[in-house]
């Protein structure tokens, strides 16, 4: 089945053509990062307008790069939520119009479900697996038993990991979104130079908390203004990154131990982070776990990642219908309804 997929939940407009839920024929991503950087974060109203401007050219580009026309498309999938209402609605409206005009099956996909299965576009993973999803909006540990069958093992109580990276970058005067830049600066710093807290590391739960760590960085910078400049900035970035990664790795270690599962998927934008990739590789080696992390382009928001579960759902006969509406808040656990019965 050859699917056209559309993602517009936040500040990336993306369209992809994917064959049989595994072969990416095209994956076009138009990022609005530069526009939102002017405001230090995503401005929802501007995001919606930008999506509107580029969504059709992005779809045309995806079809053209895949060397197909709409006649060659057999189904449409779109991010239904969670995300910004106005942004989601742009992708959903176009997806519905295309499905209606060409009489194609349509399915709405959960954004995090997209991230969970992005790695399947590069390598098949057997069920069950433990998944750590770390993005701008999520820090969640799941047990994944099959498509639609997700059990939340733990989640952040406050800021998401990506959010912590972006907020600390802001404190340090770096442009939005600062995660990738902190990663780059950290590569030339000493991760043991500044001792920062490891929140909830030993609380026995699978939950996370990053807001206190962000405040600790803020207080440190206020007391030591020179730490946010020159060579010292590298040390501060490396120390912050080490604190986040240690918590993510140790909580994941506990989840693997408690579930007895020996397969791990790490996904979402923060899975691009070199410290986290290294830490997860070490964890996998130490515990004999099979580790799957997508290439960086498939870690951050993109439309191709929607195709894996969309292909499964459409082949199972699931259709969203034209009443499909944006779900700004949507629990992943509720997707079980789709596969029951
Ligand atoms: O998955 P994603 O593209 O969008 C959301 O669904 O949120 O993730 C974006 C997040 C941002 O917070 C960004 O700063 C972070 O991923 N990120 C990184 C890196 N690359 C992207 N954080 C740390 N290190 C990186 N290399
Ligand atoms: Zn995302």
Per-residue pLDDT tens listing for the chain (341 residues): 999 999 999 999 999 999 999 999 999 999 999 999 999 899 999 999 999 999 999 999 999 999 999 999 999 999 999 999 999 999 999 999 999 999 999 999 999 999 999 999 999 999 999 999 999 999 999 999 999 999 999 999 999 999 999 999 999 999 999 999 999 999 999 999 999 999 999 999 999 999 999 999 999 999 999 999 999 999 999 999 999 999 999 999 999 999 999 999 999 999 999 999 999 999 999 999 999 999 999 999 999 999 999 999 999 999 999 999 999 999 998 899 998 86
The reported pLDDT for the residue numbered 236 is: 98
Domain of 23, CATH number, reads 3.30.420.40
Are 306 and 289 members of one domain? no
Are 87 and 217 members of one domain? no
Closest residue by Cα to atom 22, ligand 1, is: 179
Are 88 and 176 members of one domain? no
The reported pLDDT for the residue numbered 210 is: 97
What spacing in Å lies between the alpha carbon of 135 and ligand 2's midpoint? 6
Are 271 and 313 members of one domain? no
Are 43 and 173 members of one domain? no
Residues 12 and 29: beta-carbon distance below 8 Å: yes
The reported pLDDT for the residue numbered 151 is: 96
Distance CA 172, CA 123 (A): 38
Distance CA 245, CA 252 (A): 10
- Nearest atom, ligand 1, residue 115 CA: 1
Closest CA to 75 of 21, 129, 14: 21
Bin 5: left if φ > 0, else alpha if -120 < ψ < 50, else beta.
beta
Are 91 and 176 members of one domain? no
The reported pLDDT for the residue numbered 226 is: 95
Per-residue pLDDT tens over the stretch 146-168:
999 999 999 999 999 999 999 99
Residues 246 and 238: beta-carbon distance below 8 Å: no
Residue owning tokens 């540990």: 141
Domain span including residue 93:
2-117+301-340
Distance CA 295, CA 49 (A): 29
- What's the whole-model pTM score? 0.96
- Nearest atom, ligand 1, residue 161 CA: 12
Residue owning tokens 């109580």: 157
Are 180 and 49 members of one domain? no
Pocket, ligand 1, Cβ cutoff 6 A: 10, 135-137, 162, 165-166, 177, 179-180, 183, 268-270, 272-273, 300-301
What spacing in Å lies between the alpha carbon of 88 and ligand 2's midpoint? 13
What spacing in Å lies between the alpha carbon of 252 and ligand 2's midpoint? 20
For the chain, the domain total comes to 2
Per-residue pLDDT tens over the stretch 35-66:
999 998 999 999 999 999 999 999 999 999 99
What spacing in Å lies between the alpha carbon of 270 and ligand 1's midpoint? 4
Q: Of 163, 270, 305, 328, which is best to mutate to test ligand 1, by the most ligand atoms within 8 angstroms of its C-beta?
A: 270
Q: Where are the alpha helices (DSSP H) in 66-160?
A: 85-102, 111-117
- Nearest atom, ligand 1, residue 12 CA: 3
The reported pLDDT for the residue numbered 341 is: 61
Distance CA 37, CA 57 (A): 23
Closest residue by Cα to atom 16, ligand 1, is: 269
- Which ligand neighbours the alpha carbon of 276 most closely? 1
Are 278 and 306 members of one domain? no
Residues 160 and 168: beta-carbon distance below 8 Å: no
Distance CA 14, CA 86 (A): 15
What spacing in Å lies between the alpha carbon of 10 and ligand 2's midpoint? 8
The reported pLDDT for the residue numbered 340 is: 81
Are 169 and 269 members of one domain? yes
Distance CA 212, CA 218 (A): 10
What spacing in Å lies between the alpha carbon of 311 and ligand 2's midpoint? 19
Q: Is the peptide bond before 177 cis (omega within 30 degrees of 0)?
A: yes
Measure CA 104 to chain center: 27
Are 196 and 61 members of one domain? no
Are 214 and 69 members of one domain? no
Last residue of a domain, one of 293, 310, 330: 293
- Nearest atom, ligand 1, residue 272 CA: 26
Are 283 and 178 members of one domain? yes
């Amino acid at each position: 089945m050859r699917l056209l997929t559309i993602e517009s939940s936040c500040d990336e407009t993306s369209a992809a053509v994917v064959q049989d839920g595994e072969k990416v024929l095209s994956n076009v991503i138009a990022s609005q990062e530069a526009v939102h950087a002017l405001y230090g974060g995503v401005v929802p109203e501007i995001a919606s307008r930008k999506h509107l401007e580029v969504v059709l050219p992005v779809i045309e580009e995806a079809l053209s790069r895949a060397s197909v026309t709409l006649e060659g498309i057999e189904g449409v999938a779109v991010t239904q939520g969670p995300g910004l209402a106005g942004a989601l609605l742009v992708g959903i409206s176009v997806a519905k119009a295309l499905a209606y005009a060409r009489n194609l099956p349509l399915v709405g996909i959960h954004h995090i479900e997209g991230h969970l299965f992005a790695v399947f576009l590069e390598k098949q993973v057997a069920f069950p697996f433990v998944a750590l999803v770390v993005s701008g909006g999520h820090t969640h540990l799941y047990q994944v038993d099959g498509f639609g069958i997700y059990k939340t093992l733990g989640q952040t109580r406050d800021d998401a990991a990506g959010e912590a990276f972006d907020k600390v970058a802001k404190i340090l005067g770096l442009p939005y979104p600062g995660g990738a830049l902190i990663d780059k600066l950290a590569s030339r710093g000493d991760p043991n130079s500044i001792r920062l807290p490891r929140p909830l590391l030993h609380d026995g739960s699978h939950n996370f908390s990053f807001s206190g760590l962000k405040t600790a960085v803020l207080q440190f910078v206020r007391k030591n203004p020179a730490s946010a400049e020159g060579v010292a900035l590298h040390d501060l970035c490396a120390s912050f990154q080490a604190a986040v990664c240690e918590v993510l790795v140790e909580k994941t270690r506990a989840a693997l131990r408690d579930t007895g599962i020996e397969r791990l998927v790490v996904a979402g934008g923060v899975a691009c982070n070199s410290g986290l990739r290294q830490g997860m590789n070490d964890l996998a080696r130490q515990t004999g776990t099979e580790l799957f992390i997508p290439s960086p382009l498939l870690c951050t928001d993109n439309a191709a990642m929607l195709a894996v579960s969309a292909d499964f759902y459409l082949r199972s006969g699931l259709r969203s219908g034209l009443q499909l509406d944006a779900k700004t808040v949507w629990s992943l656990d509720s997707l079980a309804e789709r596969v029951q019965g």
